[in-house]
Amino acid sequence: MRVGTVKRKTKETDIEVEINLDGTGVYDVKTGIGFLDHMLEQLSRHSLIDLRVRVDGDLHIDFHHTTEDSGIAIGTAFAQALGDLKGIRRYAEAHIPMDETLTRVALDISNRPYLIWKVEFSRDKLGEMDTELFKEWFQAFAQAAGITLHVENLYGTNNHHIVESCFKALARSLRNAVEIDPRRADAVPSTKGVLGGSL
């Protein structure tokens, strides 16, 4: 099984993450931020990636460090679980509707991290969480996981639906991209024979 375990401790957060790419979508998430927990649970369930997350963060200051650092830790565990990237499908995309909302995610597990974020909100907060922090999570995850990630909300008015469709579209894309292609199970999916960098 492709698994990753990360422990990351700074003056701002203390995080433990366990991930299993070949799981069934079992999750156990406690970040201290209810809405972020809900989104990470959606990510796990719809990607079929097992996810355990524990975060003790400086929430008395704000939610920024916990949000960003959880993205870093989950992305790092994801990259660790992928290993040498042999056999994966690499590319994937998904369109996820949620009532009046439609969001598209396209990604390349390339070891060349990059985020395109075309998502706008009409509210500053969802629950107690600042909506601007969702971009920070996606940026941190993409950077640490080595993913070229494009997230675009095509339309929608309900901010909860917009965010949730972003996480679900990411989940479905990851589910497809990390699958082993039986036609190329022993090969890195690149004509260079390696993913990432300028080689």
Domain holding 162: CATH number?
A: 3.30.230.40
Residue 194 belongs to some domain of the structure: no
Average confidence score pLDDT of the chain: 94
Distance, CA of 124 to chain centre = 22
So what's the pLDDT on residue 199?
31
Q: Which of 62, 64, 56, 57 is nearest to 140 (CA)?
A: 64
Residue 184 belongs to some domain of the structure: no
Share of the chain above pLDDT 90, in %: 87
The answer to whether the CB of 38 falls within 8 A of the CB of 46 is no
Q: Which of 82, 94, 92 is nearest to 20 (CA)?
A: 82
Q: Cα–Cα distance between 127 and 65 in angstroms, integer?
A: 17
Domain limits for position 110: 3-177
Q: How many domains does the chain have?
A: 1
Residue 192 belongs to some domain of the structure: no
* CB neighbourhood size of 4 (10 A): 20
- State the pTM of this model: 0.93
Residue 62 belongs to some domain of the structure: yes
Residue 186 in this model has a pLDDT that exceeds 90: no
Residue 187 belongs to some domain of the structure: no
